[in-house]
Structure 1
Amino acid sequence: MTPTVTVDLARLDANISRYGGRAAEAGVALRAHVKGHRSPEIAARQVAAGAVGVAVHSAAEAMAYLEVGVTDVAVAWPWRDPWRWTRFAQLARHCAVTVHVDHPEAVAGLGAAAEAHGVELGVRIEVDTGLHRVGVDPDAAGELAATVARTHGVRLAGVTGYVGLTDAAAARDRAELGRRQARLLVSVAERIRAAGSPCPTVSVGGTPTLPGALDVAGVTEVCAGAYALLDGGFARLGECDPEAVAITVTTTVTGNDGRVLRTDADALLAGADQTWMSGVVMTAPDGAPVSPASVSVGDELRVLPGHVCPVVARRPLLHVLDSGEPVARWQALVRPDRA
């Protein structure tokens, strides 16, 4: 048998409501990053529940979200490839577009592309919050903001940053990590404003650090990707109950040596772990925990993937269940701007 990736509607909607409620209670906007589910149908439910828009990595995928009513798109990666800037300007003919930036060349290129296409692009300064992967040093953000102010075709929409959980210690400290990240971004925004530039948005990224970020005054938006579906990593962390996870992989046991199970989903799940916690949550179809000693070859199991993002990217056909009955099939999207 081929393993099936399923989405439970009741759990999906409950997650969307719960996290949306947290943000609303704090008076903070919630933006849905689509990297977790890659599904226009799920994004439409998130926006209908109050999300201000979506975050994407490419203009090509963004067009599919416009078709389901999304009108506000953030390109949540500071691309420096000149050919992309035209794509983002073209996208801005159809919706509000904000692009993350971390280099003056990108600001200049986006401004030129926007002017050539008769649009204006918002830009958010991506701040390095400690991962040292992308983003400007916090002390250099003011200089980049001044560059934006001098550049036609773009306007400064705010600052943003993301901090991932790199290990188990960071995962345990996730709330405080979110607070530190948020305080840093708020301080950067305050310095930019003090220098004379508007900086309306302070957007903090990440689902596991979201509760901490919501504690910090001055945060105006949280951007989260995994909150709609969740995954086994969040369940093992204690961030949610296993029954809250809306995505599961239905698989069949193909081998059992009494200690380690082999299933027909092993290839799909290989390496699909959180960076801070490996492994999946494996249960019987009724949700009861299982151990290798309790199952036999041929048994069907329900697996909560450790990390939702790679599983959806590898197996993008989502089988949608309502009260256990199939009601739809959603095709998740993997659309780079240049194949």
Structure 2
Amino acid sequence: MTPTVTVDLARLDANISRYGSLAREAGVALRAHVKGHRSPDIAARQVAAGAVGVAVHSAAEAMAYLEVGVTDVTVAWPWRDPWRWSRFAQLARHCAVTVHVDHPDTVTGLGAAALAHGVEVDVRIEVDTGLHRVGADPDAAGELATAVARTRGLRLAGVTGYVGLTDGAAARDRVDLGRRQARLLVAVAERIRAGGAPCPVVSVGGTPSILGALDVAGVTEVCTGAYALLDGGMARLGECAPEAVAIAVTTTVTGTDGQVPRTDADALLAGADQTWMPGVVMTGIDGAPVTAGAVSVGDEVRVLPGHVCPVVARQPLLHVLDSGGPVARWQALVRPDRA
């Protein structure tokens, strides 16, 4: 059989409600990053439940979310490609748009594109919180903020940063890590304000560290991608119970040699693990590992993917279940600005 990706509706709505309540109780806005589910249908439920908007990676992707009523979009990656800037400015004609930036050239180019299209684009300074992938050095963020504030067509909206878990130690320390990184971003925002520029938003990204971020005064928004569906990695980390995971893969056992059984979903699940949990471990819906000795060739099993993001990107048709029965099919989207 072809592996099937399912979404349990009751679990989905319970997750949306739980994380929304955590943010509301802390007096912090919640933004739904769509990288986990890539589904306008799920985003619509998140916004209806109180999320302030969505975070996307492309302007083309954003248009699909506008069609389901989303009016607030953040482009949550500091792209430096000049050809993108015009697309972001065009998007601002249709909704409230915020773009992450981490380089002076982006500030200049995005400002020129905004003026050319007769719009004003909100900008957040992406701060490197220690992953060294993207982001301005915290000590250089003030200078970049000044450049934004002086650039016509742009409006400085705040600062942002992603709290990433790089290994098991970071995963175990995730709440304190979230606090430390949130305090870093709050401090950067305070320095920007002291320099005379407005900096209303302090947005902290990351689901596993969310409790730490919500505990820090001065944080105004958390941006999280996995919270709606969750995944097996989150369950093994202790962020949620296995029965809270809303996504599962139904697959057939094709071999039982070795410790982990082979299935027809092996290609789908390959590499779908977390940085703190290297090597895909097949986890049953009860949270226990699925071992070769416990199943036979031809058995149908339902497993929790270790990492939701690559699974949905590879197999974007989501079969929606309610009380175990099929009720809908949702098409997840992968829409780059340039194919």
- TM-score, with structure 1 as normaliser: 0.98
Report the Cα distance in structure 2 between the residues aligned to 1:112 and 1:288, rounded to whole angstroms.
54
Q: In the alignment, which residue of structure 1 is the partner of 2:75?
A: 75
Report deviation, 1:290.
4.3
Q: In the alignment, which residue of structure 1 is the partner of 2:183?
A: 183
* Aligned residue identity for 1:191: R
Report the Cα distance in structure 2 between the residues aligned to 1:114 and 1:210, rounded to whole angstroms.
33
Q: In the alignment, which residue of structure 2 is the partner of 1:6?
A: 6
Q: What is the count of residue pairs matched by the alignment?
A: 338
Report the Cα distance in structure 2 between the residues aligned to 1:217 and 1:296, rounded to whole angstroms.
53
Q: In the alignment, which residue of structure 2 is the partner of 1:273?
A: 273
Report deviation, 1:288.
7.4
- Structure 1 stretches of 4+ with a deviation exceeding 3 A read 286-291
SS in 2 for 1:272: coil
CA contact (8 A) 1:74 1:98 kept: yes
Change beyond 3 A, Cα 1:287–1:212: closer
CA RMSD in angstroms comes to: 1.2
87-96 vs 294-303, greater mean Cα deviation:
294-303
1:174 aligns with 2:174: yes
Report the Cα distance in structure 1 between the residues aligned to 2:78 and 2:155, rounded to whole angstroms.
15
Report deviation, 1:283.
2.4
Report deviation, 1:317.
0.5
**Mind listing any 5+ residue stretches in structure 1 that lack a counterpart?**
none
* Aligned residue identity for 1:335: R
Report deviation, 1:258.
6.1
Report the Cα distance in structure 1 between the residues aligned to 2:147 and 2:313, rounded to whole angstroms.
37
Q: In the alignment, which residue of structure 1 is the partner of 2:137?
A: 137
SS in 2 for 1:78: coil
1:313 aligns with 2:320: no
Q: In the alignment, which residue of structure 1 is the partner of 2:40?
A: 40
Q: In the alignment, which residue of structure 1 is the partner of 2:327?
A: 327
Report the Cα distance in structure 1 between the residues aligned to 2:287 and 2:275, rounded to whole angstroms.
25
Report the Cα distance in structure 1 between the residues aligned to 2:51 and 2:305, rounded to whole angstroms.
25
CA contact (8 A) 1:158 1:200 kept: yes
Q: In the alignment, which residue of structure 2 is the partner of 1:282?
A: 283
Q: In the alignment, which residue of structure 2 is the partner of 1:213?
A: 213
CA contact (8 A) 2:233 2:307 kept: yes
Change beyond 3 A, Cα 1:258–1:82: closer
Report the Cα distance in structure 1 between the residues aligned to 2:179 and 2:288, rounded to whole angstroms.
36
Report deviation, 1:295.
1.3
Share of identical aligned residues, percent?
A: 86
SS in 2 for 1:77: coil
Deviations 1:131-159, CA, capped at 9 Å, x for gaps: 01101110101101110111000000000
Deviations 1:271-321, CA, capped at 9 Å, x for gaps: 11001113344327x887643222111111011000000000000000000
Report the Cα distance in structure 2 between the residues aligned to 1:230 and 1:192, rounded to whole angstroms.
35
* Aligned residue identity for 2:2: T
* Aligned residue identity for 1:282: T
SS in 1 for 2:236: helix
Change beyond 3 A, Cα 1:251–1:97: same
Deviations 1:150-181, CA, capped at 9 Å, x for gaps: 10000000000012100000000000010011
